[in-house]
Structure 1
């Protein structure tokens, strides 16, 4: 039914009822995106269920109807981020190339989400099927090449430790190693730094490729 006209002929248009959005707008995707935004912009300590509810424009009780805890939200975030890691090469291309492709994509994903590294690095993986499938793909790739079972998990952890560190390095200021006024007292280091800059290559990328080559050579032997 349309609103009745006023005495001067104008029509009263009902205003939209004020208040929080309907709970129907809440789902795992919206919650995950909002949580990722909080962590990326303000860091992990800023992520609380109350802050997440404010970000979503809902009450905490409404949020708890969809996510039981901050831990569950973090597992959703982990699942979302890990979806960008490429582990499809195992069983499709030679092991060295599969590991290289995996490591590069893993590093690039977390370079984009560096604030998550301290969280994901210690988050139990039981709630992240994507992470578990990734581990299975890498483990199967190593196993197929004859790796002894007791060496597989340490190899994955060693590579992950390097990848997480490289992802953090990728976000560091370009002049982080500049010795400044102490350069004259450090002729070898300062000269090496200048030589690296002269190549025009990104220092973080160069360091990553050098380290990855060293790890893969140590694990698999010379290429």
Structure 2
């Protein structure tokens, strides 16, 4: 008769509980950098009109309630995006270079950053800088540079806004089609304009947007530089 074996003691029983999976957790881990990156991705794909908190939650693969644990509103997300983009603008030349060179470097960097994110320009251009530390840091560096260059305090902000108005408009120009000034069947009735467009094309410039930006920037620097003491 076969021997009857007793059930193993609890300490000897094989572990029947499911083991915890090693690796990334199933739920997405949210932080400000991830939210900012997802917002930029969504806006680039769907435009600002397609940017909603529900769409952002779907992009992040989380429930909207999880998103609201980190940001309280769409405006909060836009402040994060604004701060991220502004932090990419190079203001280092204001520490060591003459004002004209510093402004030129800042303006080119500013335009290049926002030419990649034109759907955000109408929003960010009028978004208050309250609670945006990186944006405020940029304005502080630029304001300090203007002040050291001899600008009167009451002219500094107006001068910066004048540059920004030109920079944002030029950022759009970067993305304009090459034939934007083609007069087509109206060429005969617009001879001066058509001739000027043809002459510009003959110059063989790699980027008409860059030529226009350089020309306008030189004029702004020369004009606004006259306010310095």
- The two structures have a TM-score, normalised by structure 2, of 0.86
Which secondary structure state, in structure 2, belongs to the residue aligned with residue 176 of structure 1?
coil
For 1:213, the equivalent position in structure 2 comes to 218
1:128-139 mapped onto 2 (5 Å cutoff): 128-139=132-143
What are the residue-to-residue correspondences of 1:20-169 with 2, within 5 Å? Answer: 21-23=26-28, 25-169=29-173
Verify the 8 A CA contact 2:99 2:146 in the aligned structure 1.
Answer: yes
1:125 counterpart SS class: coil
State which structure, 1 or 2, has the greater radius of gyration over its C-alpha atoms.
Answer: 2
- Post-superposition offset of 1:21: 4.0
Write the deviation string for residues 85-109 of structure 1: whole angstroms up to 9, x where unpaired: 0111113000000000000000000
Q: TM-score, normalised by structure 1?
A: 0.88
Structure 1 runs (4+) greater than 6 angstroms displaced? 1-4
Cα distance in 2, alignment partners of residues 191 and 120 from structure 1: 37
Counterpart pick for 2:186 among 179, 182, 203: 182
Show the counterpart of 2:10.
none
Contact kept in structure 2, 1:169 and 1:204, CA below 8 Å: yes
Query: 1:136 Cα deviation (Å)?
Result: 1.1
CA contact (8 A) 1:67 1:73 kept: yes
Q: How far off is 1:3 after superposition? A: 7.3
Give yes or no for contact 2:87–2:138 (8 Å, CA) kept in 1.
no
Q: Shift of the alpha carbon at 1:41?
A: 1.5
Unaligned runs of 5+ in 1: 5-12
Give the corresponding residue for 2:208.
203
Give CA-to-partner distance per residue, 1:105-131, whole Å, 9 cap, x none: 000000011111011101111121111
Unaligned 5+ residue runs, structure 2?
Answer: 1-13
Counterpart-to-counterpart distance in 1, 2:166 and 2:142: 16
After superposition, the C-alpha distances for 1:39-78 in whole angstroms (9 at most, x for unaligned) are 1121111111111011111110111111111111111111
In 2, the alpha carbon distance for the partners of 1:143 and 1:169 equals: 30
